Homo-oligomer: A and B are copies of this chain.
Amino acid sequence: MQQNLTREEKRQQKLDVILRNAAKAFMERGYYKTSLDDIASMQNVTKPTLYYYIKNKEDILVKCEEVTCGRINAMLDEVMAKNISGYEMLYQFIMRYIGIIIDDVARCHVRHRGQMEDEMLRAQSIKNHKDIENRVREIIRRGIGDGSIRNCNSTILAILLFDSLNGLTSWYKADGKVDQNELTDEVLALVGSGVCRT
């Protein structure tokens, strides 16, 4: 039994490594410029071996999405269960969202979501994001309801918020010049109070 578990764990670990390496390569070189041979050689195996862990190339994107959306939704479960104002919820969501998407697998998901060639998978991917977006809209509406957030179009605000947060994935490097805390502070200040002085 324990050996079975170990085998299963090994398998899961190998899948994780494949996802992480593939995601990194997709972000650096792009999805179509990264061949399965490239990905395979990163794990020191050959291409057919990958097919033991993934269904096909596109399945890598799907699996990156599953992992990332799982994390985001779990975080939203936590944040939305708290007994705090809508604005405070939004604040905490932003803070923790930045923490989640600074990760190759998450960045890969953000960049490629809704771009699967398979129609069913593409529809599912779009739905996954819409669901998350709707939960954030719910937070915004709560904030408007309890008076902590200025009255606004929650749909547009949620989209603008995700655009700027997801945009981070294409330039922010955890080891770069910009400190994560400073970045988070600037985002929170901008979203909270805008740029106007008066």
Which residues does chain B contribute within 8 Å of A166, judged by CB atoms? 163, 167
Taken together, the copies of this chain in the complex come to 2
Chain B residue numbers with a CB within 8 Å of A152 are 186, 189-190, 195
Residues on the B chain within 8 Å of A161, using CB: 164
Shortest CB-to-CB span from A155 to chain B, Å, is 8
A168 vs B166: C-alpha distance in the bound complex, in angstroms? Answer: 12
Nearest chain B CB to A119's CB is how many angstroms away?
A: 12
- Cα A147 to Cα B196 in complex, Å, equals 9
A186-198 CB mask vs B (1 if < 8 Å, else 0) is 1101111111110
- Chain A contact surface mostly: helix
> Would you call A90 an interface residue if the criterion is a C-beta within 8 Å of the partner chain's C-beta atoms?
yes
CB pair B182–A160 under 8 Å, yes or no, is no
Tell me if A160 and B164 are in contact (CB < 8 A): yes
Q: Is the CB of B149 within 8 A of A197?
A: yes
**A79 and B183 alpha carbons, distance in the complex (Å):** 28
Report yes or no: B117 in contact with A196, Cβ–Cβ below 8 A: no
Q: CA of A148 to CA of B155 in the docked complex: distance in angstroms?
A: 29
Tell me if A178 is interfacial: C-beta within 8 Å of chain B. Answer: yes
- 17 more A-B contacts (CB under 8 A) besides A90-B195, A156-B186, A193-B194? A149-B195, A150-B196, A152-B190, A153-B182, A153-B186, A156-B187, A160-B164, A160-B167, A163-B163, A163-B166, A163-B168, A164-B167, A166-B167, A189-B194, A190-B191, A192-B196, A193-B193
